Amino acid sequence: MTINLFLLFAFLAALLHCLFFYLESIAWMKPKTYKTFGVKEESEAKILKLLYFNQGFYNLFLAFGVFVGIYLMTKGFTASGIPIILFACSCMFGASIVLFFSKPGMLRAVLIQGLCPFLSILFYLIS
């Protein structure tokens, strides 16, 4: 049962990171999008566009790692799939910790980014 929760929360974390990719790399210049990230002015969003574009791809690659790990597990390659999922989720959770310490006022964003990968790792450890 806990292995299923491990996979469920890893999958949810990957989906969220796909959403982050979309927001940061595709929809960045929409005012609603960049304001969600605390950027107030379009001029500032233009300056940050390349940085967020790159960051979005980091998020996509982490999500891809989870999806590959889950795929490997469904094909019976658990010895390969589990470490890939754990690595990707650890990176996601680690990034949320960095966000917490670099911008403590963004607790909501920290929880959105880090809760699912944290729960995935936790359920793996107790399985």
Mean pLDDT of 21-45: 97
Confidence of residue 1 (pLDDT cuts 50, 70, 90): confident
Number of other CB atoms surrounding residue 36 within 10 Å: 12
Number of other CB atoms surrounding residue 91 within 10 Å: 17
**Predicted pLDDT at 2:** 87
Q: Enumerate long-range contacts of 91-96, CB under 8 Å, 24 or more apart.
A: 91/62, 92/13, 92/17, 92/62, 92/116, 92/117, 93/117, 93/118, 93/121
pLDDT at 92 over 80: yes
Q: Convert the pLDDT of each residue in 55-91 to its tens digit.
A: 999 999 999 999 999 999 999 999 999 999 999 999 9
